[in-house]
């Protein structure tokens, strides 16, 4: 049976009243019609890199069925904050400004743009101020340190901030890192920085608008919830795939009362690192972790989540700093 017939057969099986396709609406139905008419279009969708996590093993593929089709067509807009400018995510860049990996190893995305903006502002400051303070310690006058900062590894955007602060006479501070701390703070305008300095600081903060497939989100591990409250598909993946990890200790088997946190750190103990644990979950068919953000943990009002993604092919950047990226 060729791909065309396989896809048509799957669509007919799934399109029952109340099913995923039935609820997904006209857009998905039209996509299904296109696939039924054009095997090449179907192949393009099924080969979309955002669906690569589904085919990692037979369990993930069987549990998800054709739901990867929806992942290619339906995505949620989320946000990422970073001091770096880039066009694609890369897991290999973790550790170069992505901040603490407090909820597992992966790419961190947020439903709430304010969370991403907060990270974009906080993350560049730590190493930036440290480098400036270290370089200044070798000079008697702050103006003499500016030329050496570029050699210390500051980016062109960071150098623009330092050049602007120099023109602002370091905002009246004795030390450059004090001026930097002031202009990066919430009270920056009270120090009367020039528009050039404010613009240079703003350029450090990259907030990305990102599309993340709905089906990937639906198959993520929930950090705070017991496994018994996870989606049935996720429970099924864990039940069928966990023995493949090669567990020598029964105490490290998953239990219904375990939270996603418990499960993740059991896997860390089994595999030896958070990076290896994330990779193993990805291979099992679980593409990431989701958890409530800091604004939502008090339980008041509407809640928004953060996501830790194990596959850098899943999130697709749509905009950076409000500007659409060239395709």
pLDDT at residue 317, rounded to an integer: 93
HSE-CB of 198 using CA atoms within 13 angstroms: 10
pLDDT at residue 202, rounded to an integer: 80
Q: If you average pLDDT over residues 300-324, what whole number do you get?
A: 86
Q: Indicate if the pLDDT at residue 301 is higher than 80.
A: no
Whole-angstrom distance, CA of residue 315 vs CA of residue 212: 5
Q: If you average pLDDT over residues 34-56, what whole number do you get?
A: 47
Q: Could you read off the pLDDT of 218-238 as tens digits, one per residue?
A: 999 999 999 999 999 999 999
Helical spans, DSSP H, in the chain: 3-14, 20-24, 26-37, 39-46, 58-64, 67-73, 113-136, 142-151, 156-167, 176-183, 195-202, 214-218, 232-241, 260-271, 274-284
Whole-angstrom distance, CA of residue 178 vs CA of residue 157: 18
Q: Could you read off the pLDDT of 138-196 as tens digits, one per residue?
A: 776 777 777 787 777 777 888 899 899 999 999 999 888 889 889 888 788 999 999 99
pLDDT at residue 287, rounded to an integer: 97
Q: Could you read off the pLDDT of 54-68 as tens digits, one per residue?
A: 444 433 333 333 334
DSSP per-residue letters across 161-201: HHHHHHHTGGGG-SSHHHHHHHHTSTTGGGG---HHHHHHH
Residues 257, 228: contact at Cβ < 8 Å? Answer: yes
Sheet of 316-320: strands edge to edge?
Answer: 221-222, 288-292, 305-309, 107-110, 75-82, 206-213, 316-320, 323-324
Could you tell me the pLDDT band of residue 206, with boundaries at 50, 70 and 90? Answer: confident
Q: Could you read off the pLDDT of 89-125 as tens digits, one per residue?
A: 998 877 544 456 789 999 999 998 888 877 776 655 6
pLDDT at residue 74, rounded to an integer: 67
Mean pLDDT of the chain: 76
pLDDT at residue 21, rounded to an integer: 39
Residues 108, 291: contact at Cβ < 8 Å? Answer: no
| Choice between 244 and 52, residue whose per-residue pLDDT is larger | 244
């Amino acid at each position: 049976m060729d791909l065309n017939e396989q896809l048509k057969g799957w669509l007919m099986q799934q399109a029952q009243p109340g099913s995923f396709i039935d609820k997904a609406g006209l857009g998905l139905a039209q996509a299904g019609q296109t696939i039924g008419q054009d095997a090449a279009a179907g192949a393009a969708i099924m080969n979309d890199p955002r669906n690569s996590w589904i085919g990692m093993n037979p369990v993930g593929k069987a549990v998800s069925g054709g739901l990867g089709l929806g992942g290619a067509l339906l995505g949620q807009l989320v946000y990422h904050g970073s001091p770096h400018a880039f066009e694609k995510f890369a897991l290999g860049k973790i550790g170069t400004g992505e901040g603490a990996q407090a909820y597992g190893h992966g790419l961190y995305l947020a439903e709430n743009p304010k969370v991403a903006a907060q990270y974009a502002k906080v993350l560049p400051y730590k190493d930036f101020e440290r480098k400036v303070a270290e370089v200044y310690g070798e000079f008697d006058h702050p103006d003499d340190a500016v030329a050496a900062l570029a050699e210390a590894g500051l980016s062109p955007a960071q150098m623009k901030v330092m050049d602007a602060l120099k023109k602002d006479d370091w905002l009246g501070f004795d030390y450059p890192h004090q001026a930097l701390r002031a202009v990066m703070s919430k009270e920056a305008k009270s120090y009367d920085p020039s528009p050039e300095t404010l613009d240079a600081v703003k350029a450090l903060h990259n907030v990305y608008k990102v599309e993340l497939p709905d089906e990937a989100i639906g198959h993520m591990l929930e950090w705070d919830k017991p496994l018994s409250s996870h989606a049935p598909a996720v429970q099924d993946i864990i039940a069928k795939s966990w023995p493949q990890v090669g567990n020598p200790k029964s105490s490290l088997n998953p239990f219904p009362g375990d939270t996603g946190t418990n499960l993740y750190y059991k896997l860390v103990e089994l595999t030896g690192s958070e990076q290896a644990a994330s990779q193993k979950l990805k291979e099992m068919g679980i593409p990431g972790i989701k958890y409530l953000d800091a604004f939502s943990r008090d339980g008041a009002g509407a809640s928004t989540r953060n996501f830790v993604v194990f596959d850098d092919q899943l999130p697709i950047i749509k905009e950076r700093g409000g500007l659409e990226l060239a395709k």
